[in-house]
């Protein structure tokens, strides 16, 4: 009876305590009457740097804050964005011994005018003893075709002299020219980066060289290197002109100009920079500002996919960062950045929420049209139960991918929107290891692993993981061919190993000279799917008689201790497929050493040739032929065992989130969130919460446009 009375009298206290607890918990999850779009994230990002790789919420916010120079449309076609136009032009000047010789050569060029279109020749102008030609198609062989009819005796000879300094060459050279007596012999100066200059001389070059060498001998601190190179009768320069939009402003109201692009380019390409974007600009020798919204580049060579390099560049504000001198200065900017993108960080609202929330507001002056969404909030809720409670109370509208975690269960009100399969998971073989040098052995390893079963066992959901379809971004217009599926064929594998000189001893394989077939497979132990894949693969290979040791490492250790120095046998990795066709950095022989992106160490002349051809042509049929041939060659050589492709997914409240893109004449769409060929994020700036307020804003924007538009618009 005592216990019964105790429970009876304590019950009101328990109910009161529970009510207090529920009130405190529900205070955080009150029903919203606002138009905010709230996305669930596992943690608040600390930095938003568009020049470094990122994922999850950091990537999502970064892409909204900064705009890129080029962008992909829904059909994966590259379109101008901040960059209005990009044009290559090759200019060549021929030097003759006199005006009569130049006049004869000009007549020859004029008589070949029917060939000008094939050469890409725009014009040919004689200026005294010089002839200047300009090409809109920068074919390097065109000047040779033009010069075929010239009399060699009438051509003058210029001497090329190369100056290399340890520091900036241009200020030093300008200082020399200020006091030079013989500088009149310089016909042209061409810079290659900041430390190298080529001088082209005509006349008494001996006098100039004595003066030149004397000057730099008296400045040994510059560590000058003077090289006298070949003679030539012409000077060719390959120029690239970039025109920017003139109606773009930064979030702080400052105009976006060529200064910002030049500043960002120099940051990406400086010698100590580790940016993955650096490779794309290797063909540019020097970039200079040529106007408020114009830049001009001197190029070392023609690079057909140059627009792809600019596509990856998101400019930074020069006026904000030119005084940044320390890592702390840069970190402070990336924590509270200023961009030109469709949304801007709201530092006050974000700071008021502490670590639990990040708030973005639409860019009122966005040149593609102000986003309709009034406010965007990223809500940090790490606890699964609190996530579920928040979603059921209507306080969450969507959920971004949670890193390596699977998407949470937020209840039946949420539907998944899948991105395209842009991530490849594969095993990279170190081809410098004797075990993997024969492509037949690598092919046999693929056949010994029952890949469909491995993928089924490793899948985290009810559906098996899908195999890799191709080497390039899915549905790329320049490569429609599909990689063949990997069969499980033990007999074919054993024949291939035998042909490669392997022998079976007591159930175990040995490769030539009786060495045991054994290797170590490194993988990211924090990635649960990779752990399952590594264990399943190792089990299949062990069963077939190959000893495999697993090495689970932290991701940073895997990169720094294994991949960068190439101290690994095999590694289970994942990479994201870019939109572009240029895979030079990944497969070319020149990138196979330590620190290179070709970490398999593939060295193959056919592959190298195809990679160079893909960089040299803009003809669609040729691009398609070379891309598909490259994919077929990589499949045959098997430098990697491509396992599966995956795409991220997001959860949306089915009745809450729409997509509202600006259209012509001021109209807007108002549709369900969709995934096109370019992926889920192609429509990312235009996601909007479907509320009475946003529909009112939509009506206000579209009504005047509808009245002004023609009947059939």
Tokens of 354: 């502490």
Report how far residue 629's alpha carbon sits from residue 370's, in angstroms, rounded to the nearest whole number. Answer: 44
pLDDT at 403: 53
Does residue 82 contact residue 69 with C-beta atoms inside 8 Å? Answer: yes
Query: Where do the domains of the chain lie, and which CATH numbers do they carry?
Result: 37-66+341-419+649-708 (3.40.190.10), 85-238 (no CATH), 423-646 (3.10.105.10)
Tell me: pLDDT of 28 over 80: no
| Strand-strand pairing, 37-41 and 398-399 | parallel
Rounded mean pLDDT of 407-428? Answer: 86
User: What percent of the chain stands above pLDDT 90?
Assistant: 63
pLDDT at 679: 83
Rounded mean pLDDT of 384-407? Answer: 79
Q: How many of the other CB atoms lie within 10 Å of CB of 523?
A: 26
Give 27 or 696, the one with higher predicted confidence: 696
Q: Read off the pLDDT of residues 122-131 as tens digits, 9 standing for 90 and up.
A: 999 999 999 9
Tell me: pLDDT of 408 over 80: no
pLDDT at 463: 65
Q: Read off the pLDDT of residues 205-214 as tens digits, 9 standing for 90 and up.
A: 999 999 999 9
Q: Read off the pLDDT of residues 75-104 as tens digits, 9 standing for 90 and up.
A: 889 999 999 999 999 999 999 999 999 999
Does residue 712 contact residue 664 with C-beta atoms inside 8 Å? Answer: no
Q: What angle do CA 313, 314, 320 make, to 5 degrees?
A: 130
Rounded mean pLDDT of 579-592? Answer: 94
Tell me: pLDDT of 45 over 70: yes
pLDDT at 400: 79
How much of the chain is helix, strand and coil, in % rounded to 5?
40, 25, 35
Tell me the CA distances in angstroms from 44 to 20, 351, 612, one per residue in order: 29, 12, 42
pLDDT at 462: 59
Q: Read off the pLDDT of residues 509-547 as tens digits, 9 standing for 90 and up.
A: 999 888 999 999 999 998 888 999 999 999 999 999 999
Q: How many of the other CB atoms lie within 10 Å of CB of 345?
A: 21
Q: Both ends of the chain: CA-CA distance in Å?
A: 83
Q: Read off the pLDDT of residues 319-358 as tens digits, 9 standing for 90 and up.
A: 999 999 899 999 999 999 999 999 999 988 877 777 789 9
What beta strand segments (E) does 397-472 contain? 398-399, 414-418, 423-429
Rounded mean pLDDT of 357-386? Answer: 91
Report how far residue 28's alpha carbon sits from residue 635's, in angstroms, rounded to the nearest whole number. Answer: 54
Q: Read off the pLDDT of residues 267-286 as tens digits, 9 standing for 90 and up.
A: 999 988 888 899 899 999 99
Tell me: pLDDT of 14 over 60: no
Tell me the CA distances in angstroms from 686 to 362, 376, 659, 670, one per residue in order: 10, 11, 5, 9
pLDDT at 20: 41
DSSP string, 283-347: TEEEEEEEETTEEEEEESS--TTHHHHHHT-----HHHHTT--SHHHHHHHHHS---SSSEEE-H
> What is the rounded average pLDDT for all residues in the chain?
88
Pick the range with the lowest mean pLDDT from 467-481, 562-576, 679-693.
679-693
Q: Read off the pLDDT of residues 134-147 as tens digits, 9 standing for 90 and up.
A: 998 777 888 998 99
Closest of 675, 670, 38 to residue 374, by C-alpha: 38
Pick the range with the lowest mean pLDDT from 25-34, 37-46, 170-179, 285-294.
25-34
Does residue 52 contact residue 275 with C-beta atoms inside 8 Å? Answer: yes
Report how far residue 611's alpha carbon sits from residue 599's, in angstroms, rounded to the nearest whole number. Answer: 16
Closest of 540, 507, 535 to residue 521, by C-alpha: 535
Does residue 446 contact residue 488 with C-beta atoms inside 8 Å? Answer: no
User: What percent of the chain stands above pLDDT 70?
Assistant: 92
Q: How many of the other CB atoms lie within 10 Å of CB of 217?
A: 10
Q: Read off the pLDDT of residues 446-495 as tens digits, 9 standing for 90 and up.
A: 999 999 899 988 876 656 788 899 999 998 989 999 999 889 999 999 99
Does residue 639 contact residue 429 with C-beta atoms inside 8 Å? Answer: yes
What confidence category does residue 664 fall into, taking pLDDT thresholds of 50, 70 and 90? low
Model confidence, pTM = 0.86
Report how far residue 258's alpha carbon sits from residue 66's, in angstroms, rounded to the nearest whole number. Answer: 16
Q: What angle do CA 639, 645, 651 make, to 5 degrees?
A: 155
Report how far residue 141's alpha carbon sits from residue 129's, in angstroms, rounded to the nearest whole number. Answer: 23
Tell me: pLDDT of 12 over 90: no
Rounded mean pLDDT of 695-710? Answer: 62
Tell me: pLDDT of 19 over 80: no
Tell me: pLDDT of 359 over 90: yes
Report how far residue 191's alpha carbon sits from residue 172's, in angstroms, rounded to the nearest whole number. Answer: 13
Give 629 or 56, the one with higher predicted confidence: 629
Tell me: pLDDT of 554 over 90: yes
pLDDT at 137: 78
Residue 548 CA, chain-centre distance (Å), reads 34
Report how far residue 680's alpha carbon sits from residue 474's, in angstroms, rounded to the nearest whole number. Answer: 13
Q: How many of the other CB atoms lie within 10 Å of CB of 24?
A: 9
Pick the range with the lowest mean pLDDT from 109-118, 509-518, 600-609, 700-709.
700-709
What beta strand segments (E) does 136-260 contain? 158-164, 186-192, 196-201, 225-232, 234-244
Residue with tokens 């830049």: 295
What confidence category does residue 654 fall into, taking pLDDT thresholds of 50, 70 and 90? confident
Rounded mean pLDDT of 438-445? Answer: 95
* DSSP bridge pairs for 85: 243
Give 10 or 248, the one with higher predicted confidence: 248
pLDDT at 8: 44
Rounded mean pLDDT of 491-515? Answer: 92
pLDDT at 388: 85
pLDDT at 406: 67
Q: Read off the pLDDT of residues 48-73 as tens digits, 9 standing for 90 and up.
A: 999 988 888 899 999 999 999 999 98
For 46, phi and psi rounded to 5 degrees? -95, -20
Give 332 or 706, the one with higher predicted confidence: 332
Rounded mean pLDDT of 430-438? Answer: 95
Closest of 171, 173, 233, 176 to residue 198, by C-alpha: 173
Closest of 150, 122, 116, 121 to residue 234, by C-alpha: 150
For 351, phi and psi rounded to 5 degrees? -65, -35
pLDDT at 594: 84
Residues 6+ apart with CB under 8 A from 400: 39, 40, 41, 56, 57, 60, 378, 650
Does residue 377 contact residue 36 with C-beta atoms inside 8 Å? Answer: yes
Pick the range with the lowest mean pLDDT from 76-85, 113-122, 500-509, 680-689.
680-689
pLDDT at 404: 52
What confidence category does residue 702 fall into, taking pLDDT thresholds of 50, 70 and 90? low
pLDDT at 405: 60
Tell me: pLDDT of 363 over 80: yes
Tokens of 485: 């599926």
Tokens of 527: 């990635």
């Amino acid at each position: 009876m005592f216990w019964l009375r105790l429970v009876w009298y304590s019950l009101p206290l328990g109910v009161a305590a529970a009510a207090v607890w529920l009130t405190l918990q529900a205070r955080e999850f009150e029903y919203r009457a606002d138009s905010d779009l709230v996305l669930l994230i596992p943690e608040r990002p600390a930095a938003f740097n568009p020049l470094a790789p990122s994922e999850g919420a950091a990537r999502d916010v970064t892409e909204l804050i900064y705009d890129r120079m080029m962008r992909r449309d829904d059909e994966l076609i590259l379109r101008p964005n901040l960059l209005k136009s990009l044009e290559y032009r090759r200019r060549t000047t021929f030097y003759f011994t006199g005006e009569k010789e130049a006049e004869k050569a000009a007549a020859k060029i004029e008589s070949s005018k029917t060939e000008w279109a094939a050469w890409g020749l725009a014009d040919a102008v004689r200026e005294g003893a010089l002839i200047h030609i300009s090409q809109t198609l920068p074919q390097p062989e065109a000047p040779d075709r033009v010069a075929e009819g010239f009399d060699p005796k009438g051509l003058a000879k210029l001497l090329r002299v190369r100056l290399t300094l340890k520091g900036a060459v241009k200020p030093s050279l300008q200082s020399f020219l200020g006091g030079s007596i013989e500088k009149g012999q310089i016909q042209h100066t061409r810079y290659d980066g900041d430390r190298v200059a080529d001088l082209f001389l005509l006349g008494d070059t001996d006098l100039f060289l004595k003066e030149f060498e004397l000057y730099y001998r008296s400045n040994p601190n510059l560590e000058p290197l003077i090289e006298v190179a070949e003679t030539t009768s012409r000077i060719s320069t390959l120029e690239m002109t970039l025109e920017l939009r003139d109606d773009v402003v930064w979030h702080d109201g400052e105009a976006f100009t060529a200064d910002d692009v030049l500043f960002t380019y120099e940051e990406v390409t400086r010698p100590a920079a580790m940016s993955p974007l650096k490779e794309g600009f290797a063909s540019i020798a020097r970039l200079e500002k040529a106007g408020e919204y114009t830049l001009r580049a001197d190029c070392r060579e023609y690079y057909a996919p140059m627009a792809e390099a600019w596509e990856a560049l998101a400019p930074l504000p020069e006026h904000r960062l030119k005084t940044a001198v320390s890592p702390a200065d840069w970190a402070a900017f990336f924590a509270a950045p200023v961009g030109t993108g469709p949304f801007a960080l709201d530092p006050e609202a974000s700071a008021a929420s502490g670590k639990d929330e990040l708030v973005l507001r639409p860019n009122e002056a966005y040149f593609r049209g102000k986003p309709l969404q009034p406010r965007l909030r990223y809500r940090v809720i790490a606890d699964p139960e609190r996530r579920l409670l928040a979603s059921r109370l209507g306080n969450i509208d969507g959920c971004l991918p949670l890193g390596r975690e699977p998407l949470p269960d937020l209840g039946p009100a949420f539907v998944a929107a899948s991105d395209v399969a842009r991530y490849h998971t594969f095993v990279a073989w170190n081809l410098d290891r004797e075990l993997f040098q024969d492509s037949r052995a690598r092919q046999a390893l693929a056949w010994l692993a029952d890949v469909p079963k491995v993928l089924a066992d490793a899948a985290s959901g009810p559906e098996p993981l899908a195999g890799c379809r191709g080497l390039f971004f899915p549905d790329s217009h320049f490569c429609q061919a599909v990689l063949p599926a990997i069969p499980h064929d033990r007999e074919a594998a054993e024949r291939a190993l035998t042909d490669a000189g392997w022998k079976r001893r007591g159930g175990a394989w040995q490769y030539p000279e009786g060495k045991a077939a054994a290797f170590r497979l490194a993988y990211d132990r924090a990635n649960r799917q990779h752990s399952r894949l590594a264990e399943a693969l190792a089990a299949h290979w062990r069963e077939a008689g190959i000893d495999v040791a697993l090495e689970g490492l932290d991701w940073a250790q895997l990169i720094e201790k294994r991949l960068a120095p190439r101290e690994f046998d095999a590694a289970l990795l994942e990479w994201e497929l870019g939109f572009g066709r240029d895979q030079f950095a990944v497969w070319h022989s020149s990138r196979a050493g330590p620190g290179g992106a070709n970490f398999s160490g593939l060295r193959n002349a056919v592959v190298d040739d195809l990679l160079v051809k893909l960089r040299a042509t803009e003809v669609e049929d040729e691009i398609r032929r070379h891309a598909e041939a490259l994919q077929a060659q990589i499949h045959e050589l098997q430098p990697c065992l491509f396992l599966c492709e995956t795409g991220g997914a997001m959860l949306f409240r089915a009745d809450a989130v729409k997509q509202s893109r600006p259209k012509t004449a001021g109209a807007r769409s108002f549709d369900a969130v969709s995934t096109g060929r370019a992926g889920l994020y192609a429509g990312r700036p235009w996601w909007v919460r479907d509320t009475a307020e946003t529909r009112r804003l939509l009506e206000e924007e579209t009504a005047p446009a509808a009245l002004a538009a023609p009947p059939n618009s």
